[in-house]
Structure 1
Amino acid sequence: MKTLIIVIHPHMETSVINKRWIEELNKFPEKYTVHELYQAYPDEKIDIKKEQELIESYDKIIFQFPFYWFSSPPLLKKWFDEVLLYGWAYGSKSGFKVGEKKIALAISTGIDDEGFSASGKYKYTMKELTRPFELTFEYIKADYREPFIYFGLEQNPSLEWVERSVPMYLDFIDKL
């Protein structure tokens, strides 16, 4: 079955790595469906029913975004609040429509992985900083997997560094 990639990037026109990942994913429409939230909802008015039907249609879902103020861009939080509703995503016998679906994050960061450590610039690991996502997906009984995190774009802004990530990302998705 195809994998749904939900992309959350508020400034895709200036993106380097997320834009490149989308370009590569779009080469394989038989394997991946790319759904860009900021493109689909420029006014941020989310079609809840459409999003829920989309989620129900896939067994593997990736949320792809740049690490943004130690979390995700704001539209993803809004998406969680509006789409993962009681009675659909959790909380009743008819809920848990996301349950058992394989879900993971694909995150691009500017600094290297050492910056995200107890002794690093930001004092916390990515595991610690992404724990709210993990808890969210556990709460709705999804099969949450370890995230794909590509570090160091600010220190290595070269095309070579970006291209290095592409096969790694596709391999991650395919093994999900």
Structure 2
Amino acid sequence: MKTSVMVFHPNIARSRINAALMERAQNEPELDLVVRDMYALYPDFHINVEEEQRVADGADRLVFQFPFYWYSAPALMKQWEDEVLSSGWAYGPDARIAGKRMMLAVSTGGLKDTYSVEGKHHAAMSELLLPYRIMTQYLGLEFEEPFIVHGAYAPDLDDGALAAVAQEYVARLH
């Protein structure tokens, strides 16, 4: 399965989790995937829509990897959705994206138990990511269970634990 991993992190050099996931995926020769640092590609936010649609056309699965900021994705990812997922290409009678798979790879600053009805955020991640599930239904995509890494700032997420998480990520990409 050909997979396009789009990493939407506005400062990947300062990221521990997203940088580790991206690097591990890039160094997985057994997978048929392309890993793309979207902020490096579009630092000026001028998205090449035709190129993005070409890349997506060639993929069987689209993976959106991003840090969860203020209950949403970074700005470039939202702009990518607005511009690339256009009528006639992503939806409508002649849509070409239907039938592909979509997976989210999300990192959070908070610990897992803070993302529950009883927790600090008063909602589970499944609720907070619902717009993406609805988007996949609208576009005719198959929504894969998200890969979520909680606790970006947790003291127990040392280098060994992060390497294990990155290995889990690659296993999910298989």
Which residue in 2 is equivalent to 1:80? 81
Which residue in 2 is equivalent to 1:133? 132
Which residue in 2 is equivalent to 1:114? 113
Matched position secondary structure for 1:128 = helix
Cα distance between partner residues in 1 of 2:63 and 2:82: 18
TM-score, normalised to structure 1's length?
Answer: 0.93
TM-score, normalised to structure 2's length?
Answer: 0.94
- Report deviation, 1:103: 0.5
Which residue in 1 is equivalent to 2:164? 164
Give yes or no for the alignment of 1:145 onto 2:144. yes
Q: How many residues align?
A: 172
Q: Which amino acid aligns with 1:111?
A: G
Cα distance between partner residues in 2 of 1:103 and 1:145: 6
What residue ranges of structure 1 are gaps of 5+ in the alignment? Answer: none
- Report deviation, 1:37: 1.0
1:62-90: CA deviation from partner (whole Å, max 9, x where unpaired):
10011111111111110000000011111
Q: Which amino acid aligns with 1:40?
A: L
Contact 1:153 1:161 in 2 (8 A): no
Cα distance between partner residues in 2 of 1:40 and 1:85: 20
What residue ranges of structure 2 are gaps of 5+ in the alignment? Answer: none
Which residue in 2 is equivalent to 1:23? 23
Which residue in 2 is equivalent to 1:63? 64
Identity across the alignment (%) = 36
Which residue in 2 is equivalent to 1:49? 50
Cα distance between partner residues in 1 of 2:30 and 2:48: 25
Q: Which amino acid aligns with 1:3?
A: T
Pairwise CA RMSD: 1.2
Structure 1 runs of 4+ off > 3 angstroms? none
Cα distance between partner residues in 1 of 2:29 and 2:69: 28
Which residue in 1 is equivalent to 2:10? 10
Contact 1:110 1:152 in 2 (8 A): yes
